[in-house]
Amino acid sequence: MLKKNKINIQLLKKMCYSLIKIRKFEEKIIERYPDQKICCPVHLCIGQEAIAVGVCENLKKNDYLFSTHRNHGHLIAKGADIKLMFAELYGKITGCSSGKGGSMHMIFPENGILGTSAIVAGGIPMAVGSALASKIKNEKRVSVTFFGDGAVDEGTFYESLNFAALKRLPVVFVCENNFYATNSPQKARQANCDIYKIAKFFNIPGICVKGNDLFAVYRVAKESVNRARNGSGPSLIEARTYRWRSHVGPETDIEKGLRDKKEVEEWQALCPYSCFRQAILKNKLLKETDIIEIEQLVTNEIEEALEFALKSPYPVADDLYKDVY
Ligand SMILES: Cc1ncc(C[n+]2csc(CCOP(=O)(O)OP(=O)(O)O)c2C)c(N)n1
Ligand SMILES: [Mg+2]
Task: Say what percent of the chain tops pLDDT 70.
Answer: 98
Q: How confident is the model at residue 6 (pLDDT cuts 50, 70, 90)?
A: low
- Picking from 265, 262, 242, 291, the residue whose alpha carbon sits closest to that of residue 48 is 242
Q: Whose CA is nearest to atom 21 of ligand 1?
A: 148
- Picking from 124, 136, 209, the residue whose alpha carbon sits closest to that of residue 162 is 124
The DSSP secondary-structure symbol of 114 reads: -
Distance CA 67, CA 45 (A): 12
The DSSP secondary-structure symbol of 5 reads: G
Question: What is the dihedral sign for C-alpha 81, 289, 60, 237?
Answer: negative
Q: What is the DSSP string of 239-250?
A: EE----S-SSSS
Q: How confident is the model at residue 1 (pLDDT cuts 50, 70, 90)?
A: very low
Contact 245, 46 (CB under 8 A): yes
Average pLDDT, integer, range 259-284: 97
21 CB within 6 A, ligand 1: no
CA angle 274, 280, 285 (to 5 degrees): 160
Distance CA 79, CA 77 (A): 5
Average pLDDT, integer, range 278-306: 97
The top-level CATH class assigned to 4-309 is alpha beta
Q: Whose CA is nearest to atom 2 of ligand 1?
A: 120
The DSSP secondary-structure symbol of 204 reads: S
3-state secondary structure of 174: strand
Strands 235-240 and 206-210: parallel
Where does residue 156 rank: exposed (0-12), middle (13-18), buried (19+ CB within 10 A)? Answer: middle
Tell me the per-residue pLDDT of 214-261, one tens digit each, with 9 for 90 and over.
999 999 999 999 999 999 999 999 999 999 999 999 999 998 899 999
- Torsions phi, psi for 26 (to 5 deg): -75, -35
Distance CA 174, CA 196 (A): 10
Task: Determine the distance separating the centroid of ligand 1 and the alpha carbon of 132, expressed in angstroms.
Answer: 26
Neighbours of 63 (CB within 10 A): 24
CA 182 to chain centre: 17
180 CB within 6 A, ligand 1: yes
Ligand 1 atom closest to 148 (CA): 15
Ligand 1 atom closest to 149 (CA): 16
174 CB within 6 A, ligand 1: no
Does residue 4 have a pLDDT over 60? no
Task: Determine the distance separating the centroid of ligand 1 and the alpha carbon of 182, expressed in angstroms.
Answer: 6
Contact 104, 71 (CB under 8 A): yes
pLDDT for residue 325 = 79
Distance CA 67, CA 1 (A): 31
CA of 157, nearest ligand number: 1
pLDDT for residue 220 = 98
Does residue 5 have a pLDDT over 60? no
Contact 312, 85 (CB under 8 A): no
CA 260 to chain centre: 25
Task: Determine the distance separating the centroid of ligand 2 and the alpha carbon of 125, expressed in angstroms.
Answer: 19
Tell me the per-residue pLDDT of 129-163, one tens digit each, with 9 for 90 and over.
999 999 999 999 999 999 999 999 999 999 999 99
Question: What is the dihedral sign for C-alpha 31, 37, 41, 42?
Answer: negative
Neighbours of 215 (CB within 10 A): 19
Q: Where are the domains of the chain?
A: 4-309
Task: Determine the distance separating the centroid of ligand 2 and the alpha carbon of 206, expressed in angstroms.
Answer: 18
